[in-house]
Structure 1
């Protein structure tokens, strides 16, 4: 049996990015994916006539010097066809709609319309967002290991101690809510509803618990551009997989890693039907939640994973996939619907509606559109088998009621309707208990409790949404890139 330079466990954006970089450098790489699709939570599935985006839908990082643009340049491959949206999304609140524009000038005009009495404060806050976001972009260009866990990590951060990073110090030691107090925005109900909706979709929490720099980075990223990729984000995953194969690597679907065991100075990965693979290095892209199921008790004890696992909570997702007649506008593809500003922005009270592009025939037939609706949900309730079907039907009804407030005739135009729950995500995407979106930030210091790419085991690295910088295709891509760089060292 030959030995691979690296085995990648999981074909999400992190694993595919790591595998593509290593294969491009001449490493012998194999990617083992447990499901039958690429892309993980940013993957897709097909039903007669339709291609649905499983979870993540909004494309970001494709602008000049964006994370995915730089990655594709590094790999010397072309980005798939895509459209950058002038309107990031429409946010539908009871009685009003906020048009979240990409361009600063148009967004500031919208701020004046929506927040006439606080427009100066809101604009000042977003000026801070853009300034801090730009400083964070400069920091990420060199892909440092973060947060530092070992002495060597701290030593390697010394070159970053310059005027730029010193100016970022306040945002590393405060929550976003703390920053809002400076502008007296924390008590503005409409603004906080809008802001918390954006934060939930990007960093999995609200301003009160969000480290300031994470919130600033997420909000700044929105204004670099929201892209609709032809065929959905799974098309990006397919291109990364093709790059791996074009450079001599392997991508194997329906090939779960069942165990990872030491074998001398190498690692033995066992898959179903007792297929085995030997690798010098291993990169895990199958979620930290799955870590303990792969290694024996001694390896878990030797790692730096087990001590943190119980301290970090994650959301699940309830998703509703619809095939519909094309009654929707083509100029805005992403819509956030918040039904009651007085309630938490979870459990169908807030959800994202993502439309396929009007002319994208890979996603829907002529005259039809594919829609993904998604909301955050608590995990534990979905494992009550007796209440499962009733709860699922209730959530479908609540979501459709919410859509009707902005698109009243939606029910008359549905020809395909498929709900998905955390149980679905565990079954098809292989996420433990259906956990998605990474860990939920819990305060200003919560970033220090994140996992870096180091697992604590020799030559075993981790990437994905449970590894810093966390959720979203940008965060997972960056973590995969960092993991590949560290493996090559």
Structure 2
């Protein structure tokens, strides 16, 4: 059989592109190397607990949001979920800030914690919401960005209007620059808070984050963040079921070891020397894995250079999956908690800043009775974890640092834990096939770093890419949008 499109990787980008192509009547086959769907937003189960592999927060289900529109177009019923308000509690050394989804409540919280600069911070957020909405309007039109050929440039020109032109100042400044315009750059508390939110969403800090990207991320929290029952893997399974309902195939435990081209068709080599043939290929297994997937001949055709990507910095994640006694968190409504290490408030990685995600007590699929599943996650440098000599010692040290920080804010946490499972970049490579355990795409490094982004194009006619290493970047919304961009381009 010759497929119209073969999709490699059942992360959210691959699932979204395959579902949209299925809706439009194309013959699609989707390959996933592991036995779980969702990639870094997947799941696994141990001893009665369901754990989320990486990403845990549901976004885009508000009216008009990415998943709201996708589900409507596919005719899928949205899963059960809980709107988060507060979105999370942020635990700083001397206070806890309730990060409310509701804008009016959030502004009251600003009054409470930042009384001397409250009016300036609220003006800053007014700008965040205004500019973030403009970014949404632009990105939701699914442009191929950065433009790679004449057709892409032509489509970009069509997007130029009075609203898009308003974004230009924010595409030439960092969030730090915008803080200076509000005389907020020296407010250490607010800066620490913002760094935590930007590190969690855009993988970088205020001085390195392009303003329009940071604003888009910050305003997304306030549009609606959700705890999806069953975890984000529920969304992945619904998309896969839709693909199969259209008569298309989703193959688990089918790694694609090599993609080559002969004549007008691509041939994908999977397990037991099976070969599948397709007219077009979508790679949702990250640019880090690109050259390991393409044949030598195809690898020479792409403009993405192997050595450059090998040396380009990208974050990994240290993660702990565990169970905890439900009683420990009964006095808080928040399911998500961000912690700033009281001894190192300026460290944004390796435990200096990290997120705790708790399962909703109403979601009985996530944990045994009287327990809740949880995930602790922090950014970490990748390379140090590949030294075998002290690997176990480093893992134990990092595990203890995260657990003890939570125990500082929630006394008794360490004693209440059950089934503690730490993971490192080595774990992410083993189970999610992420090269060297790199996750979350490429962190912005300055005001013009967005110009160094990759689009859905590989430079090889008929081979596309989507996922967290492709514009618009990391997070379930970003990777889903990249998948929809590919589907739009293929069916244009």
Looking at structure 1, the residues matched to 34 and 13 of structure 2 have their Cα atoms a distance apart, in angstroms, of 16
Instruction: Assess, with a 3 A threshold, how the Cα gap between structure 1 residues 285 and 246 changes in structure 2: closer, same or farther.
Output: same
Q: CA deviation at 1:342?
A: 4.2
2:128 matched residue in structure 1: 129
Give yes or no for contact 1:88–1:334 (8 Å, CA) kept in 2. yes
Question: After TM superposition, what 4+ stretches of structure 1 lie above 3 angstroms from structure 2?
Answer: none
Looking at structure 2, the residues matched to 48 and 401 of structure 1 have their Cα atoms a distance apart, in angstroms, of 24
2:319 matched residue in structure 1: 319
In the superposition, the TM-score normalised over structure 2's length comes to: 0.97
Looking at structure 2, the residues matched to 83 and 292 of structure 1 have their Cα atoms a distance apart, in angstroms, of 41
Corresponding residue SS for 1:257: coil
Corresponding residue SS for 2:58: coil
Give yes or no for contact 2:261–2:298 (8 Å, CA) kept in 1. no
Q: CA deviation at 1:312?
A: 3.5
Alignment of 1:141-220 (within 5 A): 141-220=140-219
Instruction: Assess, with a 3 A threshold, how the Cα gap between structure 1 residues 142 and 449 changes in structure 2: closer, same or farther.
Output: same
Looking at structure 1, the residues matched to 366 and 255 of structure 2 have their Cα atoms a distance apart, in angstroms, of 28
Which deviates further from its counterpart, 325-334 or 436-445?
325-334
Alignment of 1:474-485 (within 5 A): 474-485=477-488
Alignment of 1:77-476 (within 5 A): 77-306=76-305, 309-310=309-310, 312-327=312-327, 328-329=329-330, 331-340=333-342, 342-476=345-479
Give yes or no for contact 1:3–1:279 (8 Å, CA) kept in 2. yes
Looking at structure 2, the residues matched to 416 and 127 of structure 1 have their Cα atoms a distance apart, in angstroms, of 44
Q: CA deviation at 1:156?
A: 0.9
Deviation per residue, 1:240-291 (Å, 9 max, x gap): 1011001111111110010000021110000121011000010000001100
Which deviates further from its counterpart, 284-293 or 329-338?
329-338
Deviation per residue, 1:343-391 (Å, 9 max, x gap): 3210011110000000211100111100000000000110010110000
Corresponding residue SS for 2:440: strand
CA RMSD in angstroms, aligned pairs only:
1.1
Give yes or no for contact 1:145–1:453 (8 Å, CA) kept in 2. yes
State the number of aligned residues: 488
Looking at structure 1, the residues matched to 144 and 227 of structure 2 have their Cα atoms a distance apart, in angstroms, of 30
Looking at structure 1, the residues matched to 299 and 385 of structure 2 have their Cα atoms a distance apart, in angstroms, of 28
Looking at structure 1, the residues matched to 360 and 262 of structure 2 have their Cα atoms a distance apart, in angstroms, of 49
Looking at structure 1, the residues matched to 197 and 146 of structure 2 have their Cα atoms a distance apart, in angstroms, of 24
Give yes or no for contact 2:13–2:284 (8 Å, CA) kept in 1. yes
Looking at structure 2, the residues matched to 300 and 448 of structure 1 have their Cα atoms a distance apart, in angstroms, of 23
Which residues of structure 1 form unaligned runs of 5+? none
Looking at structure 2, the residues matched to 257 and 384 of structure 1 have their Cα atoms a distance apart, in angstroms, of 28
Looking at structure 2, the residues matched to 121 and 282 of structure 1 have their Cα atoms a distance apart, in angstroms, of 49
Looking at structure 1, the residues matched to 452 and 64 of structure 2 have their Cα atoms a distance apart, in angstroms, of 29
Give yes or no for contact 1:461–1:487 (8 Å, CA) kept in 2. no
Corresponding residue SS for 1:282: strand
Q: CA deviation at 1:309?
A: 2.4
Deviation per residue, 1:287-312 (Å, 9 max, x gap): 01100112233322321211752564
Which residues of structure 2 form unaligned runs of 5+? none
Looking at structure 1, the residues matched to 150 and 309 of structure 2 have their Cα atoms a distance apart, in angstroms, of 22
Give yes or no for contact 1:290–1:432 (8 Å, CA) kept in 2. yes
Give yes or no for contact 2:325–2:370 (8 Å, CA) kept in 1. yes
